[in-house]
Amino acid sequence: MHQLRQTNWAEILPPSDFGLEPILEVHDQGYVEFLKTAFQLWTAGVVNYEHMALTPATFPPGGHRRVPQTILGKAGYYMMDLSAPIGAETFQTALWSAYCSLSGAEALVTGEKSAFALCRPPGHHAGKANCGGYCYLNNSAIASHRLSRKGKVAILDIDYHAGNGTQEIFYNRRDVLTVSLHADPALEYPYYSGYADETGEGEGKGFHLNIPLPFELDDAGYLVVLKTALSRINDFEPDFLVISLGMDIFMDDPLGKFKITSQGIRQIGRNIAELEIPTLIVMEGGYALESIGYNFITFLENFIDQS
C-alpha cells in the first residue's frame, strides 16, 4: 500500500460492502456460517481468548463426508489444513478482502480497463466449502462469478502454488475459463490438485488448464509457458480477465523455488496487458516482504491507462 501511495498513477479507493449474497453464490452456506460463528462458539465460556485461534484436531479420511455437529468436528470438515486458523476477526477480515475484489470487479463493469484488488487474506486455496493455505473466501472466484453475469471470464492464476480452490469452484463451468501456472503439485503444496490431466468436468470439460512447472524455472522458461496460457485465453475470447497474482514466483521468496527476477515479472505483466482485455488483478501470495511492494508495482505499471 505504501508503494502504491508513492506512485502518481494509483487511485486508491476503499472497498464497498456487498452483503453476503455474492459470497453465498460461490461458497457453501454451511461453510460460510461456520467461518462466521466458529470462533465465538468455540470460545464460549473462555475468559482469555485474545491469543487463541481455532485449528482442526482431526481430518475426515477420503469418502467420509458428513458434517458433524461440534465445532471441532466441523473444523476438520471445513478446514483443509492447519494454515488457515480462525481467530476473533477472521471472518470480517476475509469478508472485506472479498469485498475488495468485488469492488475491483465493479470498476471493470463500469468501464475501467484495469483494477487491482489488494486483498488480504488471499483466496485461491479456498474451495466451495473449505479454507486452507491462508485462504478463507476465494476473492478471485467471487469477483469472477460476479463478472460472469456480464460476459465470459478467464482466470489466469500465476501464484507459485496451484489455485486448487478456484479450480474446484469452476470445474463444471464453461463460461469461466480457468488457467493455472504453478509448481508441480506432486512436489509442492497444495499437493492434491493442479495436475495436467485435470481439465474440467461435464460442461466444463476442456475449460480448465493446469500447467505444472519444475522448480528452478527461470524468466525465459516462464515466458514460454505463459505464451501457451495466453494463447488459450485469447482463443476463449473473454470479456474480462482476472489475474490471481502471487509474488511467491519471485526468486527470493522464502516459500517459492522459481527463479523469476523483477525484470521477468515486468515482462509477464507486459505480455498479459498486451491482450488488451479488461483486467482485474487480485493479490494472492508473496512472502519476500522487502521486495513484494516493488514487484507488484513493476507488474501493475504495465496496466496504466495511457489514453
User: Which residues belong to the active site?
Assistant: 125
Between 63 and 254, whose beta carbon lies closer to Zn ion? 254
101 vs 148, which CB is nearer to Zn ion?
Answer: 101
- CB of 28 vs Zn ion, minimal distance in Å: 23
Would you call the peptide bond into 121 cis, given omega within 30 degrees of 0 as the criterion? yes
Q: Choose between 161 and 208: whose C-beta lies nearer to Zn ion.
A: 161
Q: H helices within 274-302, ranges in order?
A: 289-300
Q: 131 near 76, Cβ under 8 Å?
A: no
Q: How far is the CB of 33 from Zn ion (least distance, A)?
A: 27
DSSP string, 167-186: HHHHTT-SSEEEEEEEE-TT
125/143 Cα distance (integer angstroms):
15
Distance CA 137, CA 128 (A): 9
CB of 274 vs Zn ion, minimal distance in Å: 25
- Nearest residue to Zn ion, scored by beta-carbon proximity: 285
4-26 b/e (C-beta count within 10 Å ≥ 16 → b): beeeeebeeeebeebeeebbeeb
Residues that bind Zn ion (CB under 5 A): 159-161, 246, 248, 285
Taken as a whole, the chain contains a residue count of 307
Give the 3-state secondary structure of 2-58: HHHHCCCCCCCCCCCCCCCHHHHCCCCHHHHHHHHHHHHHHCCCCCCCCCCCECCCC
- Least distance (Å) from Zn ion to the CB of residue 151? 28
Residue 145 or 161: the one with the smaller Cβ distance to Zn ion is 161
Q: What's the distance, Cα to Cα, between the start and end of the chain in Å?
A: 25
Q: Cβ closer to Zn ion: 109 or 288? A: 288
| Nearest approach, Cβ of residue 32 and Zn ion (Å) | 23
